[in-house]
Structure 1
Amino acid sequence: MRATEVFPTGSLRAGGGSDFAELARLVRRAGLLRRRYGYYAARITVNVVLLAAGAVVFVLLGDSWWQLLTAVFFAVVFTQLAFVGHDAGHRQIFRSRRANDLVGHIHGVLTGISYRWWVSKHNRHHANPNHAGDDPDIDIPALAFSPEQARGKRGVLRWVVKYQAFLFLPLLLAEAVMLRIASVQAVLRREVRSATTEATWLVLHIVGYLAAVFLVLSPVKAVLFILVHQGLMGVYLGCSFAPNHKGMPVIAEGQRLDFLRKQVLTSRDVVGGRWVDFLLGGLNYQIEHHLFPNMPRPNLRRAQPLVRRFCQRHGISYTQCGLLRSYAWVLRHLHAVGAPLRKPVPA
């Protein structure tokens, strides 16, 4: 199956609902949905220690150019915090929604992203991954993931899409800031529950963050610190989510698939060992994550061979590749989608 394929209406069979029920029984029997409290206690503790250590170094260094290295460190730590917030949003940590939401809100305050807004947006993505018109993750003004999207762009955005493969990484520099802007917009429009509480968390983060940076650093160094921190966090976040679906088939409007095929055919796993697991926060097991969103992160690795064998047995295309190949796959797809816009207009 080519990554640039777009499924038209009626091109895939929509049956097989019982297939997922069979797979779910195998997963439950293997104990892969059991909570992993020890893992998350250790992961959260490590993140808190790293955050505290970074704060101590930040204060001790004072108004120094070395703080740009601290900004790089914080970009990594904040993204790791976002990964835990992601897991909480999927109820991977606790069985109780309230306990997961508490962890999610705390991590939302730390990262400056509205937890309720993000959960709502992300749930829409999970319900219809790579589905034209329904998946907010492929409804990005500056990018196109299908020829139809590319032809619909106008003005500056049309020029950006022409060369989107080359501009992809530079555009990711703004990803973290755009998430915060979208959070603020959702709260101001009262598109989230408890908008006042969400607004309080966002203000607390913004004021605390800016106060810390500008109290310790001179204005020029403070601005550069923010640019490095937010820019690299955006690149890290984008490079963690992009390999999962970008370049995989886009489901045309009106196309309906059963749950199992909808999740597997539009997702891609990234292989590479435990260092990739850490680097991508478990998102590299995207197929397993989409099939069982509340499966604890460390169990995804164990679920992968089970799911892969099941898909092979049922003739369902299961896509996986290495990390660098996944990025090449994404960039080739973006370049191919923008190709029609680069053709010269006939005189």
Structure 2
Amino acid sequence: MDHRTFVAALPAATRARLAARADVPGLRRLALHGGAILALGVAIAVRVPGWPLLLPVQGVALAFLFTLQHEATHKTPFANPRLNEIVGHLAGVLIVQPFEWFRYFHLAHHRHTNDPERDPELADGKPETWRAFLLHLSTIGYWRDKGAVLAANAFGRIDADYVPDRARPRLRREARAMLAGYALAAVLAATVAPWILTAWLLPLALGLPVLRLYLLAEHARCPAVADMFANTRTTFTTRLVRGLAWNMPYHAEHHALPSVPFHKLPELHALARPHLQETEAGYARFAGRYTADLG
């Protein structure tokens, strides 16, 4: 059964229950995720004994704000629309990814999932050599790509075909505001607030490779077909990883029904699991299988 047949077969009451949004689960998860980042950041800033060991932990927590921002593009973490917007923008500032731009980029990815001609996530292809794989996991490409997006959105030509003309002034204002904020942060880091570097930017750079590997598992080497149960991979992992990633390891389920909030994805997974065609038993196993075929 493909994802369209599966969705069509769901009773209307089940679909309505799965798509129901709520503030409390999102606020609870945000308190845990944001609280961990704040606590780790303070510990690093005041340099508790052994604080350098906290840098990669903080980095992973920061990098996985991507999954929260991703959910906010779908307006599903919270029932309150304004709260989704605020959290999406704040997460974007912390991971250097403009929220307004990512919304259009990501929705184009959903419309054309794993289509090599139209999915913007495939613009640079997936790494198929060790050199490309290591570069993909590094922070080099991330900072380069996000810097290029911010510069183009702020001062250049926004020519991505997935961005409608009406949205371009909004993207320009967003990018300019973010660049102004980063300039201020740089001044503060160089003068009165060096913790900006040690509690935010340095950990983020250390955590991004983990995020990049996690994201690679979502679609890499899945077939270029229209069925979301085949072109998207669900990865079975620990409760901790699912919590950190806002349940996005249930990724085929998310693509089949993007309107389902993160806290309802386990219920959707229970229904969809017999029909999933691409699954993996953990991210370490995915990495091992993926790298075994690198040239």
Q: TM-score, normalization: structure 1?
A: 0.70
Secondary structure (helix, strand or coil) at the match of 2:280 reads strand
Letter of the structure 2 residue corresponding to residue 93 of structure 1: P
Q: Residues of 1 paired with 2:40 and 2:177: CA distance? A: 22
Secondary structure (helix, strand or coil) at the match of 2:291 reads helix
Q: Residues of 1 paired with 2:52 and 2:108: CA distance? A: 37
Does residue 322 of the first structure (1) align with residue 287 of the second (2)?
A: no
- Extract unaligned runs of 5+ from structure 2: 159-167
Evaluate the alpha carbon distance shift between residue 195 and residue 280 of structure 1 in structure 2; reply closer, same or farther with a 3 A threshold.
closer
Does residue 21 of the first structure (1) align with residue 5 of the second (2)?
A: no
Secondary structure (helix, strand or coil) at the match of 1:61 reads coil
Does residue 39 of the first structure (1) align with residue 15 of the second (2)?
A: no
Encode CA deviations 1:220-261: one digit per residue, 9 max, x unaligned: x9988887424323212212211110011135xxxxx4xxx2
Return the offset for 1:196. 4.1
Encode CA deviations 1:277-329: one digit per residue, 9 max, x unaligned: 124432211110101112111211121120123x3xxxxx6221211222233
Assess if the C-alpha contact under 8 Å between 1:243 and 1:326 holds in 2: yes
Return the offset for 1:26. 7.0
Q: Residues of 2 paired with 1:24 and 1:111: CA distance? A: 39
Q: Residues of 2 paired with 1:193 and 1:291: CA distance? A: 32
Q: Which residue of 2 aligns with 1:239?
A: 213
Assess if the C-alpha contact under 8 Å between 2:233 and 2:278 holds in 1: yes
Assess if the C-alpha contact under 8 Å between 2:58 and 2:204 holds in 1: no
Let me know the Cα RMSD of the aligned residues.
3.3
Letter of the structure 2 residue corresponding to residue 248 of structure 1: C
Assess if the C-alpha contact under 8 Å between 1:288 and 1:300 holds in 2: yes
Q: Residues of 2 paired with 1:105 and 1:222: CA distance? A: 19
Q: Residues of 1 paired with 2:207 and 2:169: CA distance? A: 27
Q: Which residue of 1 aligns with 2:261?
A: 296
Q: Residues of 1 paired with 2:3 and 2:272: CA distance? A: 15
Q: Residues of 1 paired with 2:126 and 2:38: CA distance? A: 40
Q: Residues of 2 paired with 1:117 and 1:239: CA distance? A: 22
Return the offset for 1:190. 5.3
The alignment-based identity, stated in percent, is 21
Does residue 203 of the first structure (1) align with residue 179 of the second (2)?
A: yes
Return the offset for 1:32. 1.5
Return the offset for 1:182. 3.8
The counterpart of 1:110, out of the listed 87, 91, 94, is 94
Q: Residues of 2 paired with 1:319 and 1:128: CA distance? A: 18
Encode CA deviations 1:79-120: one digit per residue, 9 max, x unaligned: 232221111111112356544222211222233210011111
> Matches of residues 133-282 of structure 1 in structure 2 within 5 Å?
133-140=117-124, 143-144=125-126, 164-165=129-130, 167-174=132-139, 175-188=141-154, 189=156, 191=158, 192-215=168-191, 228-251=202-225, 257=226, 261=227, 263-282=228-247
The counterpart of 2:63, out of the listed 76, 79, 101, is 79
Q: How many residues in Structure 1 have an aligned counterpart in Structure 2?
A: 283
> Matches of residues 57-76 of structure 1 in structure 2 within 5 Å?
57-61=43-47, 68-76=52-60
Q: Residues of 1 paired with 2:237 and 2:256: CA distance? A: 21
Q: TM-score, normalization: structure 2?
A: 0.80
- Extract unaligned runs of 5+ from structure 1: 1-14, 146-160, 252-256, 312-316, 339-347
Q: Residues of 1 paired with 2:259 and 2:235: CA distance? A: 19
Evaluate the alpha carbon distance shift between residue 20 and residue 223 of structure 1 in structure 2; reply closer, same or farther with a 3 A threshold.
closer
